[in-house]
Amino acid sequence: METESIINRFNAWLKRSVLVKIGTIGFLVLILLIPSSMIESVIYERQSRAEEAIDEISSKWGEAQLVTGPIVQLPYSKLVKTKTGVETLREFAYFLPARFKVNGNLKAEELNRGIFDAVVYNGTFNLSFGYTAAELTKLEIEPSAIDWKGAKLLFGFSDLRGLSSVPSLTFQNNQLTFEAFHPLVSEELPAAQYLAAAIPNLNSLEQLANVSMKLSLRGSKFLSFVPVGNESEIVLKSNWPDPGFDGKFLPVQRQVSDSGFTASWSVLGFNRPFAQQWLGKCPPDLGNSLATVNLLMPVDQYQKSMRSSKYGMLVVLLSFLALFLTEMILKIRIHPFQYLLIGAAMVLFYILLLSFSEQIGFSYAYLLSTALVVLLISAYSLSIFGKWKNSLGLLAVLSAFYGYVFVLIQQQQFALLLGSLGLFLVLALLMYVSRKINWYQD
């Protein structure tokens, strides 16, 4: 009998002990970390699938384009002493224009693969450039060593499949014919693929003082130009309303609206870390000094879903604290399994958010997921509290928690400040609500 009495008293202590209840709630929170981490993996997987779909569309339409040029390639003869005498080698010198100007119009459109969208563009460009006399003395080349008949005009692109038509360029009433060109490995020119055109009747670079050409180019993701001129001016217009500007140089002027954007770059020779002429190997910074516009489709629903999931355990913990205080104040008992079911509903919120956001956008998905989960938990809590008044109170608390997280996600610069203040207010409210609870009562 005495043994049974001890066991009964111990069981009664387990049921009434505040410390055991808090420990049980903490254990349940740890258990819920497992499905939460699995949901984060699902978010990463869906984001990867979206990126794969974008890459597949880009590979068929045209990759991101990097335009390098114009570059004039001049062959010259170089005498080299060897053991057997003097040998004549054929080397190459490269020259960039003194003036370079681009006026382009990008027509962006959305292509889709399943539920995933990608932005592609079809651009038309008017290019103009001009050369001045080559400063051969700086390169230590004798003018007589230049083979002007072998002069070529080079343009580089990331993906030649994006060329909608053959570039049109007329020089001295002669239509230049561009062909595929493969630079020497040792030259290390920045773009992946090149076109080259022989320049007939060229005797001096000054003959290229005023040259213009038209270019039609398709691509995706982003478009970059190397500001090759000693004075470079690049003007781009597009119907895409959400551009991003990257690269070494930002636009000096930009106008962005719902109907598109206009941006212009102005780069001088001393703004860049490479010279206007070189021998053999390309300057290493030529391909890194870019003016870039980014036309990526904003897929922020995955980033926002991930940020929401980071707050998941905080929302669960605060909700469990609210239930625990309600349990203490109203003198009711909530079984750990009921806590677990409510926590599972909260974890399910994030998979609902991810699946809805891929269809209707993040904001509407968050509103819909919040409504479903909060209404489910509030309706279930009626079986615990027995009164609609208490269930409506829980509905208000949960709505406040999810609304608070939504505001934090939308903020960039003030997220830390708002988060800290919000937690401070929650802690103050918990202190106020629990101030009259007798924690040592039986």
Could you report the per-residue pLDDT of 136-146, keeping only the tens digit for each? 778 888 888 89
Q: Which two tokens stand for residue 250?
A: 């930002």
Using left for φ > 0, alpha for ψ between -120 and 50, and beta otherwise, residue 23 falls in alpha
Res 259: pLDDT: 92
Q: Give the pLDDT mean for 239-263.
A: 92
Q: For residue 44, how many C-alpha atoms fall within 13 Å in the half-sphere facing its CB? A: 6
Task: Please name the amino acid found at residue 38.
Answer: M
pLDDT per position as a tens digit, 354-407 = 999 888 888 899 999 999 999 999 999 988 888 888 888 889 989 999 998 898
Contact 154, 190 (CB under 8 A): no
* CA 367 to the chain's CA centroid: 25
Q: pTM for the whole thing?
A: 0.76
pLDDT per position as a tens digit, 264-300 = 999 998 888 888 888 877 776 777 889 999 987 766 7
Res 225: pLDDT: 94
- Residue 186: is its pLDDT beyond 50? no
Work out the percent of the chain whose per-residue pLDDT is above 70. 92
Distance CA 116, CA 295 (A): 15
Work out the percent of the chain whose per-residue pLDDT is above 90. 30
- Residue 122: is its pLDDT beyond 90? yes
Task: Please name the amino acid found at residue 388.
Answer: W
What's the CATH code, domain 62-298?
Answer: 2.60.40
Distance CA 79, CA 16 (A): 99
Three-class secondary structure of residue 357 per DSSP? helix
- What is the domain partition of the chain in residue ranges? 14-50+301-433, 62-298
